[in-house]
Amino acid sequence: MSSSPAPVKPSSDIHRAWWKESSVYQIWPASFKDSNDDGIGDIPGIISKLDYIRDLGVDIVWLCPSYKSPQVDMGYDISDYYSIADEYGTVADVEKLIQGCHERGMKLLMDLVVNHTSDQHEWFKRSRSSKDSEFRDWYVWRPPRIDENGTRHPPNNWVSHFQGSAWEFDEPTGEYYLHLYATEQPDLNWESPAVRKAVHDIVRFWLDKGANGFRMDVINFISKDQAFPDAPEQDKDAVWQWGDRYYANGPRLHEYLQGIGNILKEYDTFSVGEMPFVKDTNEVLKAVRYDRNEINMIFNFEHVDIDHAPYGNKFKPGSWKLTDLKSFFERWQAFMYNNGGWNALYWENHDQPRSIDRYVNAPQELRPAAGKMLATVLALHSGSPFIYQGQEIGMGNVPIEWGMEEYKDIDCLNHWQGLLKEKPFDTEAQQISRQEYQKKSRDNARTPVQWSAEPNGGFTGPDVKPWMSVNPEYSRVNAADQVQDPNSLYHYWASVLKLRKAYLDNFVYGNYELVDRDNQEVYAYTRTYGTSKALVVANWTDRQLSWDTTAQKMGNVKVVLDTYESASAAQGRFSGCQWTLRPYEAVVTLLEE
């Protein structure tokens, strides 16, 4: 599929940009803050918390989809790109939000979901109405395959990301349409110039309102191999197979991205692209290299797929080691730096479980320490850090005791329904899946933000039933307590982001090198700019341990941040050949010749 692209020249000179220096706070509107006691978070609720966000020291607020939507996939199924869902507010509210961000020196990033729309979008309603509709080719329609017995089959064997075939038969016109996600999320046909024009119009509409850029949903899926070939069989137990090689980073992707990139450039805004299944690094680079004018940075998936079973089986148990995680980081950190690309750094988002549970699984009393360690490691990597709501206070996964009725997400529920159908009496298989949902379901990220120890965690009124239950840990883990406590994770996040800016050359523009590669308990790396070298060392275990510093040439060590105490108090502990690290302790030092 990818014809060999022109070799990419490494960028020798350092390219500086405001978006490289920025960090981002991500908001999931339904669960952030409810302002009118209907149990659903909303835009006025977000506006009421802008000072809290600013005080964290972030530069950009990313608002997840808030457009009109039947909410089959929580707003990633848009039925009107020009209006806001009633439950969240109005376009005027978004304008106020943009203004509120700007007044506080922050920017607003909107979510652009244009691989697909909702099946309730006017475009799709018209498209499905007749083969002659002028909107017919706005979506991907193909005739059935008929076998020798005259039985109808989908045009190919691709699996949908939400289970089953990626094609749905539509009775009125006798053809199938493609949906890489839910049946209610038909894929747009980007081959049509009218579709591209319609997307450009949407982009301009929100930029004209003052939005500062877009996070682009599964943006590397928009160009598909027009032959729509069957995917090779990978998972022998599965009926439907991953067709990603025919739609991830497809033939016309760069042309399409430049179409949007040209508009973003006009407005001096920026974009971050979600790019699952990236394999060909040269293709990635063509999309993110700073002079390509496509997208500024990408989310890749290797480190968040780390606990999945093979063949994309997310809800089967998978295991990993610290060295696996380190090798993913090393690969992407070095790759982007050496080639003029840029990483979007994240542990969490609305599709991922909580990082303290996934990457650390610390005992109760050590969870805040673990959260600080994860904050340090992430934010001082090469790239722009993204913090997902609740991560700054260390919110955890849903309780293991929660029944299936508490889960709301289509990804998880479709899997559960499929399992019940396939193995109705296999209680063991059901039990295993239930355990995996508690570890990996997207619901883990979607419980309401725990603002205080009041009923419903202060997310909504005390007598209201929120759209999704609040995690009962709220009495112990909440924003009000942490804002009060100078030693909290919330304030620690603020100090890491401040440090990143204070040593911009090291932490934003410096070269990354992994230190002590084979160590399964400690993750250490350096960030070097000219002669200035910073060293980050993190104990990934719940035990105190001793780290042998001879792996790294030290010189004079100056502590600039520590997760347990002030830099000056910690200074005395970090000298000589053996450093003692407390459970989950992370320390940041400058090494002077």
Which residues bind to Ca ion, rule: CB under 5 A?
Answer: 34, 36, 38, 40, 42
DSSP state of 130: -
| Shortest distance (Å) from residue 81 CB to ligand GLC | 14
| Shortest distance (Å) from residue 274 CB to ligand GLC | 6
Helix/strand/coil for 259: helix
- Cα–Cα nearest to 272, from 219, 234, 318, 336: 219
Contacts 24+ apart (CB under 8 A), 102-106: 102/210, 104/50, 104/51, 104/54, 105/54, 105/59, 106/50, 106/53, 106/54, 106/58, 106/59, 106/60, 106/61
Cα–Cα distances (Å) from 520 to 120, 330, 377, 585, in that order, read 50, 15, 15, 15
Nearer to Ca ion, 138 or 467 (CB): 467
| Shortest distance (Å) from residue 161 CB to Ca ion | 29
Which residues sit opposite 385 in a β-bridge?
345
Nearer to ligand GLC, 68 or 350 (CB): 350
Q: CB of 578 within 8 A of CB of 546?
A: yes
Nearer to Ca ion, 36 or 90 (CB): 36
Indicate the residue whose CB is closest to ligand GLC: 76
Tokens of 31: 């669960």
Contact residues for 376 (Cβ-Cβ < 8 A; gap 6+): 496, 536, 538, 561, 563, 586, 588
184 carries an active-site annotation: no
When CB distances are held under 5 to 8 angstroms depending on the partner's kind, the choice from ligand GLC, Ca ion, none that residue 516 binds is none
Query: How far apart are the two ends of the chain, measured CA to CA in Å?
Result: 49
| Shortest distance (Å) from residue 409 CB to ligand GLC | 9
Nearer to ligand GLC, 224 or 582 (CB): 224
When CB distances are held under 5 to 8 angstroms depending on the partner's kind, the choice from ligand GLC, Ca ion, none that residue 479 binds is none
Which residues sit opposite 39 in a β-bridge?
none
Nearer to Ca ion, 27 or 275 (CB): 27
DSSP state of 359: I
| Shortest distance (Å) from residue 370 CB to Ca ion | 33
Footprint of ligand GLC on this chain (CB under 6 A)? 73, 76, 113, 181, 217-218, 274, 350-351
When CB distances are held under 5 to 8 angstroms depending on the partner's kind, the choice from Ca ion, ligand GLC, none that residue 76 binds is ligand GLC
Q: CB of 406 within 8 A of CB of 483?
A: no
When CB distances are held under 5 to 8 angstroms depending on the partner's kind, the choice from ligand GLC, Ca ion, none that residue 40 binds is Ca ion
Cα–Cα distances (Å) from 139 to 124, 155, 217, 220, 571, in that order, read 7, 15, 17, 17, 61
When CB distances are held under 5 to 8 angstroms depending on the partner's kind, the choice from Ca ion, ligand GLC, none that residue 38 binds is Ca ion
Given 175, 184, 244, 274, the catalytic residue? 274
Contact residues for 508 (Cβ-Cβ < 8 A; gap 6+): 20, 21, 382, 500
Given 111, 175, 217, 436, the catalytic residue? 217
30/42 Cα distance (integer angstroms): 6
Tokens of 375: 């904050």
Indicate the residue whose CB is closest to Ca ion: 42
Nearer to ligand GLC, 372 or 408 (CB): 408
| Shortest distance (Å) from residue 409 CB to Ca ion | 20
| Shortest distance (Å) from residue 145 CB to Ca ion | 47
Q: CB of 339 within 8 A of CB of 289?
A: yes
| Shortest distance (Å) from residue 491 CB to ligand GLC | 29
Residue type, 337: Y
Nearer to ligand GLC, 73 or 87 (CB): 73
Half-sphere exposure of 388 (CA within 13 A, CB side): 27
When CB distances are held under 5 to 8 angstroms depending on the partner's kind, the choice from Ca ion, ligand GLC, none that residue 303 binds is none
When CB distances are held under 5 to 8 angstroms depending on the partner's kind, the choice from Ca ion, ligand GLC, none that residue 34 binds is Ca ion
Strands 556-562 and 586-592, sheet pairing: antiparallel
217 carries an active-site annotation: yes
Nearer to Ca ion, 251 or 455 (CB): 455
Task: Give the residue numbers marked as catalytic.
Answer: 217, 274
